[in-house]
Chains A and B, each alone.
Chain A
């Protein structure tokens, strides 16, 4: 077994009395796409910052490429490409100047960076914006530039903190496509997200975090298998009747979740259950049979929705 690229044991970060990250263990293997899934405030970004050697743990151990970030911060950061949650591009510079100077921060030669810029502008689909100021870019373009910038040093690990938050659906899909391509080249991705679809799309393996702790770990499919059923039936009876009908539905299915606006029923065969409900003359105003998702896993693990 090769040593994992990142390995954390009992990792804890406290800010005063508040415990942001609470004794978590995880490993990330080379070439893997690893996700930290959880709501805002779950401790994902703090974990990211500790990995990125820009925040110091309070206790526990962490090694990145076999090294302790507290001893070898600059050496570890030389292996990483960091895409922060909020873009911090250099607004005084153009697109290509942003790439250039970031490479210079790593000490790379001008010649190397100039060649690299062409490759990165192609990758980020920003060739025609190369001389534009950063402010002139759309949100999706800024994100792609931030990712391109993180790649200028040819990192082994790309750290993406909420990469598509705030982007429109089209921009998200372009970005996912770019990240897929990166993954194919062997770059290890570490991604935080509170979007289930994103985690399912991008992550080979993920940990579900809540309140600083890891609730579960596995591939998206494994997690769904372990913590949910194959299908989910969503029914709505209107906010008044939901309460009235719930006890009857509970009899029909081993697990149901009552949400404010709808009832989720966890079964292997959603259509069959819906027929049974209709047979009881409990006509829901709307119904939907869908595959289980990580959202359901999270609901099961924490009793709460991811996005509130």
Chain B
């Protein structure tokens, strides 16, 4: 059986071995163990929330609204908002784990400090935590699809692609969320995250197309990741591909890479300098 030293020596000459020990899965393993004894309330809430929105808006308001132009054909209102809500629930899932939970482990329980006293590197911690956060996003997306499919809200088999899209979105939000959180020191700063998030979701086109806005506001909304996430899922939901779809994917690629970069850098500066 290999000793801790032998395991560390195997990577001694690899590029980036100070940043990454190739063991992000150990962080995931920790998250699974912790999950066994954690409360299920916040997890269930994140899942139920978009379902409630779907019921209230899709079927309640939907009665008044009738059909809408999705930009990809005219559809029933509930069908229009379903992909938006799926994207939102994936984002929410990712954000929950990558902001408040990360803040706690960073500042209160000093968990990351302990992890980085082992041969693990900052990229192991960042990747592990972000992957965990995106798994939550993934599970919300799957659950949401499982509920909406029997309701007849899924237009075709291509909607299954909304699942990998949701993972992608969750990855982007989780890595960006963790990066921002790693720079925050106080609960007041953390409170700002909530102030930004709620309007971002309400106004990013999950409940109506943003073409209703004046041009300047439409442009502004298009800068936010939530709009890109909602549009990406909506494209795939309706089996619709164009240059815009690729642009949304590109947007999340940038988010993932920059989030990972800044999180790794920040963890290294906090605990290894």
Residues of A that sit less than 8 Å from B by CB: 52-56, 72-75, 77-80, 82, 84, 86, 88-94, 97, 100-102, 104-109, 111-112, 133, 153-155
A88 touching B8, Cβ below 8 Å: no
Q: Which one of B17, B21, B38, B118 has the highest number of Cβ atoms from chain A below 10 Å of its Cβ?
A: B118
B4 touching A154, Cβ below 8 Å: yes
Q: Which B residues lie within 8 Å of A107 (CB)? A: 2, 4, 7-8, 21, 23, 26, 119
Minimum Cβ distance to chain B for residue A237 (Å): 48
Q: Mark B15-47 against chain A: 1 for CB-CB distance below 8 A, else 0.
A: 001100101001001100110011000000000
B34 touching A92, Cβ below 8 Å: yes
* Cα separation A112 to B2 with both chains bound (whole Å): 9
Q: List 24 A-B contacts (CB under 8 A).
A: A54-B271, A54-B272, A73-B18, A74-B12, A74-B18, A75-B5, A77-B8, A77-B117, A78-B8, A78-B119, A80-B117, A84-B117, A88-B114, A90-B114, A101-B33, A102-B114, A104-B23, A104-B26, A105-B119, A106-B4, A107-B2, A107-B4, A108-B2, A108-B7
* Cα separation A74 to B18 with both chains bound (whole Å): 6
Interface of B is mostly: loop
Minimum Cβ distance to chain B for residue A19 (Å): 16
Minimum Cβ distance to chain A for residue B163 (Å): 29
Q: Which one of B72-80, B105-113, B218-226 contacts A?
A: B105-113
A90 touching B109, Cβ below 8 Å: yes
In the A-B complex, the 9 residue pairs with the closest CB atoms: A78-B8, A153-B4, A88-B110, A74-B119, A92-B34, A105-B118, A107-B7, A88-B114, A106-B4
Residues of B that sit less than 8 Å from A by CB: 1-5, 7-9, 11-12, 17-18, 21, 23, 26, 29-30, 33-34, 37-38, 109-111, 113-121, 271-273
Q: Which A residues lie within 8 Å of B26 (CB)? A: 101, 104-105, 107
User: What is the number of contacts between chain A and chain B, taking CB atoms within 8 Å?
Assistant: 113
A84 touching B113, Cβ below 8 Å: yes
B4 touching A108, Cβ below 8 Å: yes
Minimum Cβ distance to chain B for residue A67 (Å): 9
**Neighbour of A84 across the interface among B7, B23, B29, B114, CB < 8 A:** B114
B4 touching A104, Cβ below 8 Å: no
**Neighbour of A93 across the interface among B23, B33, B117, CB < 8 A:** B33
Q: Which B residues lie within 8 Å of A109 (CB)? A: 1-2
Evaluate whether A75 and B271 lie within 8 angstroms (CB atoms) in the complex, with A97-B33, A106-B119 already known.
no
Closest A residue to B109 using CB positions: A91
Q: Which B residues lie within 8 Å of A73 (CB)? A: 18, 272
Q: Which B residues lie within 8 Å of A133 (CB)? A: 37
* Cα separation A175 to B110 with both chains bound (whole Å): 23
Minimum Cβ distance to chain A for residue B50 (Å): 27
Evaluate whether A106 and B118 lie within 8 angstroms (CB atoms) in the complex, with A73-B272, A79-B5 already known.
yes
